[in-house]
Chain A
């Protein structure tokens, strides 16, 4: 059951939960787990961008997972999916009202520079400031990473980190162009949400090229063999496409 009217606190550890919830076992909400999975997937995809040559199969599978989650999130309430990590029976009714979903898609339609996910999670944050049924999910947010056994993802302060997404967006693009992920740890800790339009990200990943290395073509001689086929040409076009997208963003 959901606990109503509970004052939110900054959760540092288990003791706080036990103190405030007085023995009520916090079950991670399906939505939070799903969000966590989405975040994890997007980080994995970003990591693909940084690798020398991403494994296409892995990238495709992760991208499909992201798409699935996105589709379900937009149709929330219609789907009844059993989460593999759920510790209890969680056939949850949707916690996010239709109004919020509509708001996020309207903001997208207004052509904001902020990608779709950013809008959605921002609204989710707004929703959480209200004392609604989401309170239960908030208090269980600390449970979620422990259940997921994730040491990469700490969802301690989902509200605060979501506010920084624009800053992190710039940081990601900068990292991609410099190709020097020194602060990969920092990148992970700040990036809680998707900052890409899904298509942009897929384009960058699928064309199997490295970004920001166009000058590499000039510095190296190019002993490509005579039998290079038209596939090379089309992949070069995709490289141009990537560069265009980066520049636009």
Chain B
């Protein structure tokens, strides 16, 4: 498999029936869950490829003499309103609205055309007939309905659909724009943190998301570990936040890498809208929107890496942007790590588990075995020492089915779908 296959984003749709992945080559692959098999009650439907299409192509920015990557940074689904499905996909510069529709019938019996499309000789037409629809093999078509371009000077890192289902935001390193889904030739700039003098730049936007229920509220995170909550009713340009979430630094852990590891790589609201989760390099934090001065919960993803930060800085792994996600009931959060490990934290029981996404160890239908990393000292059997971790095998993108315990985990080139054991 080549570099273009590297999965760059994973997202379930609102019902969980569809799972979309984007890759470095600009392709989108959508999987569909099979209807539940009534005879095999011990398993839910499997996910099979439903549609594949090329969303973005590489482009060349002639003004700056720079190539624009076709890599899909994010996919977000719109809620389903009719038979067709809609999703937004974005690369560094351009967002596209795609319509995915099914066709399982086709008209036959035209008067003027043959079945293959060639026009008939009019003199041979002696009777008139009404064309009828006949069933055909299911065909899934993806067509671009809107292209939202030329609004971002810097690289888009986030898109988020508003709960009004009419607008959405797109965020790059320095600016956030608000779009209407129907209008492509203009967008409103709602956040701009670009300094007048670029030499003074010390902080960038790393992620942004609309509140799931409150259509005037959104948050954005920064490379300095802060989250700002903004209210669009307050002013047109939301440069002044309504709330600023920031945890004071722990002085005992201070190092030259403190800022880098505090940089937030992902921010996600809980389904309830009461909490938000942030991911920084070593931890996952849960914030109560009513409390700005510290998170209510903190989970260590791979604390054993704290003593390796210099090496991780040298090989650039310290800049890896891990995502995180909630389960449907907001009781469990999940995020990825290295060595194809991913971690789940149960907020109620405070238990956590480390699992591995790899073909070698897991045949289909086997139960995943919990993993453990030995930080120091004697390594027990089945434990893996920190030094044997493969830092090239990173799980950056994970997704949780909105209703069921089905998860999608993307390693570099492969997508794994796991579900909990049904009794």
Listed in ascending order, the chain A residues whose CB lies under 8 Å from chain B are 34, 37, 40, 44, 52-53, 55-58, 60-61, 63-65, 68-69, 81-85, 148-150, 152, 199, 202-203, 206-210, 213, 216-217, 220-225, 227-229, 231-232, 235-236, 238-239
- Residues on the A chain within 8 Å of B319, using CB: 55, 57-58, 61
The CA of A200 and the CA of B318, in the complex, are separated in Å by 25
Number of interface residues of B (CB under 8 A): 41
In angstroms, how far is the closest chain B Cβ from the Cβ of A191? 15
- Residues on the B chain within 8 Å of A34, using CB: 256
Confirm or deny: B199 has a beta carbon within 8 angstroms of a beta carbon on chain A: yes
Confirm or deny: B63 has a beta carbon within 8 angstroms of a beta carbon on chain A: yes
The 9 closest A-B pairs by CB, nearest first: A206-B198, A216-B65, A84-B255, A56-B173, A231-B153, A213-B65, A222-B62, A220-B62, A85-B310
In angstroms, how far is the closest chain A Cβ from the Cβ of B409? 24
In angstroms, how far is the closest chain B Cβ from the Cβ of A171? 23
The CA of A108 and the CA of B257, in the complex, are separated in Å by 28
The CA of A83 and the CA of B307, in the complex, are separated in Å by 10
Listed A/B pairs (29) with beta-carbon separation below 8 Å:
A52-B66, A52-B67, A53-B64, A53-B67, A55-B155, A56-B204, A57-B173, A57-B204, A57-B223, A65-B256, A65-B259, A84-B306, A85-B310, A148-B311, A149-B311, A150-B314, A199-B199, A202-B199, A206-B199, A208-B154, A213-B65, A217-B62, A221-B62, A224-B62, A225-B149, A225-B150, A229-B151, A231-B153, A236-B63
* B-side interface mostly: loop
Listed in ascending order, the chain B residues whose CB lies under 8 Å from chain A are 62-67, 149-151, 153-155, 173-174, 185-186, 198-199, 201-204, 206, 223, 252, 254-257, 259-260, 263, 306-307, 309-311, 313-314, 316, 319
Chain B residue nearest in CB terms to A225? B150
The CA of A202 and the CA of B173, in the complex, are separated in Å by 16
- Residues on the A chain within 8 Å of B153, using CB: 208, 231-232, 235
- Residues on the A chain within 8 Å of B306, using CB: 84
- Residues on the B chain within 8 Å of A64, using CB: 202, 259
- Residues on the B chain within 8 Å of A65, using CB: 256-257, 259-260
Q: Is the CB of A217 within 8 A of B63?
A: yes
Q: Is the CB of A60 within 8 A of B204?
A: yes
- Residues on the B chain within 8 Å of A37, using CB: 256, 310, 313
Contact pick for B309, options A55, A56, A84, A150, CB 8 Å: A84
